[in-house]
Amino acid sequence: MTHDGWDAGTRIGVVVPHADVGPEAELQAMAPASVSIHGSRVYFGAMRAGGEMDEKIPHDPVRAFVEPPYLDQAVELVAASPLNALALAFTSSSYVLKAKGEEELFERLAPVTRGLPITGTTMAARVAFQALGAHRIALVNPPWFDDKLSGQGADYFGEFGFDVVHHGPCGLPSNQKAITPTNLSAWIRTTVAAHKPDAVFVAGNGIRAVGTIKALEEELGFNVVTANQVIMWHALHLADAAHIAAGITDYGQLFSTKP
């Protein structure tokens, strides 16, 4: 019989901005046949039909994305499915909320998760850094993040004691379709590597990044962590599927690491 996906032993629900296909594409690319990805969408005022965005996204929609009731409804709807874990696939809102606001967000969502474990991009990144023993970190933000938002990201990780040795929007075209593993790798190689971080975090779930991880780690000698990679890794561990995570070999050293 031909594989049809129905027998997936681990199902992960993910909430994404309404016009963004990146998170689901990367998550499904990393997922073995025993894992399936199930999306729920929330309107994001900085995106238009076709996935188009302004060159720099305004901050008001970033904050509005996580305000009730729409995010809560999206989580509740996907959590009604027979899932094993949930993930929030957006980065910028946590930058704006800061540590306390993010904690309050997860507390607010708890009643609608049906008891399923839930993670988010920046939360998973923090857990990943700790698991990897990474203290000096570099943040490579999408080009559609402005300098203020990038600075808020540095402040966010600084609240948790990480030494942010570099942060900034990467100098690539501010268009999802214009970013490739080749030009993103070149940016990291020429701009970030000199700071000698323990790990680099390619933030933003809408940036094409997981294809860069393995080759960059082998070349540069530090860990490469990306937004969709970390939520995949953390969600699998929350779903008691550590054995599945350990079997993912093409997307970085993180998958061989336990939280």
Distances (CA, A) of 144 to 39, 46, 188: 23, 10, 17
For 203, the domain range is 126-226
251 and 221 in a single domain? The answer is no
CATH of the domain at 25: 3.40.50.12500
133: left (phi over 0), alpha (psi -120 to 50) or beta: left
Q: What is the mean pLDDT of residues 99-123?
A: 98
- pLDDT attached to residue 150: 97
Q: Does residue 1 carry a pLDDT above 90?
A: no
Whether 97 is covered by a domain: the verdict is yes
93 and 194 in a single domain? The answer is no
Q: Per residue in 172-184, pLDDT tens?
A: 999 999 999 999 9
99 and 115 in a single domain? The answer is yes
- pLDDT attached to residue 130: 98
Count the domains in the chain.
Answer: 2
Please state, rounded to an integer, the average pLDDT across all residues of the chain.
97
Whether 2 is covered by a domain: the verdict is no
Q: Which band of pLDDT confidence, cut at 50, 70 and 90, is reported for residue 145?
A: very high
CATH of the domain at 157: 3.40.50.1860
Question: pTM here?
Answer: 0.97
Nearest alpha-carbon partner for 169 in 135, 212, 138, 211: 138
Whether 190 is covered by a domain: the verdict is yes
- pLDDT attached to residue 2: 85
- pLDDT attached to residue 30: 98
Q: What is the mean pLDDT of residues 99-122?
A: 98
Q: What is the mean pLDDT of residues 44-54?
A: 91
Whether 167 is covered by a domain: the verdict is yes
Whether 1 is covered by a domain: the verdict is no
- pLDDT attached to residue 103: 97
Whether 133 is covered by a domain: the verdict is yes
157 and 212 in a single domain? The answer is yes
